[in-house]
Amino acid sequence: MTALTPPPPDNVFLKNIFLHHLHRIYNGKCFLYKNIAHLKSLASFKGLQLAINEFGEDVKKQIERMEEIYTLIDEKPVNDDCNPIKSIIKDEFCLDENQTIPVLNDLDLMLYVQLLEHVNITSFRMLIMIASMLELADVKQLLIENFDEAKENDKLFALIAKEYITTD
């Protein structure tokens, strides 16, 4: 091990890291779920509204899985006021500003959702690694399901954005 590589954390420290990130993503997802109807109302085209609806259903399933994770590890969610995901959601890329061209608002909305999914993908990836180190197979499986859903949602919004800006 070089001087640039920290020593591996023990299980107590790993669990603290795990909980810290689980709380953040859980609270962010709960806040996002409460705001899905507002996001849907900002979309001007039916296809995007349907995608946001599907996204909201996936967010709900992800929250339910995280609640199951809390049960499996005998912990409870802790409110996290300093939450970067909440901050991104509150900012909304100024989505409430009326654009003269509805497509601009829709593209901003898709960019915003994809940004959130990239944060979620990264967070779930880290949680999967830690769950593996802690030998929490059931927890890891639930996180993999959330990770896969987040990747699929990212692809969905990328495809919809492509439809908006290309002719093929």
Structural domain contains residue 4: no
Determine, yes or no, domain membership for 128: yes
Q: What is the pLDDT of residues 16-47, one digit of tens each?
A: 999 999 999 999 899 889 989 988 988 988 99
> Is the residue at 137 inside a domain?
yes
56-to-28, 33, 49, 85, 101 alpha-carbon distances in Å: 13, 6, 10, 15, 25
> CATH number of the domain that 135 lies in?
1.20.1260.10
C-alpha count within 13 angstroms, C-beta hemisphere, residue 135: 2
Asked if the structure places residue 100 within a domain, the reply is: yes
pLDDT of 93 above 60: no
For residue 107, being part of any structural domain is answered with yes
* Whole-angstrom distance, CA of residue 91 vs CA of residue 82: 14
Supply the range of the domain harboring residue 115: 11-165
Contact 87, 74 (CB under 8 A): no
Residue 162 CA to residue 158 CA, distance in Å, equals 6
pTM of the model: 0.87
d(CA 97, CA 136): 45
Q: How many domains does the chain have?
A: 1
Q: What is the pLDDT of residues 103-152, one digit of tens each?
A: 888 888 898 889 889 999 999 999 999 999 999 999 999 999 999 999 99
Residue 5 in any domain: the answer is no
Residue with tokens 């640039």: 4
**Residue 164 pLDDT class (50, 70, 90 cuts):** confident
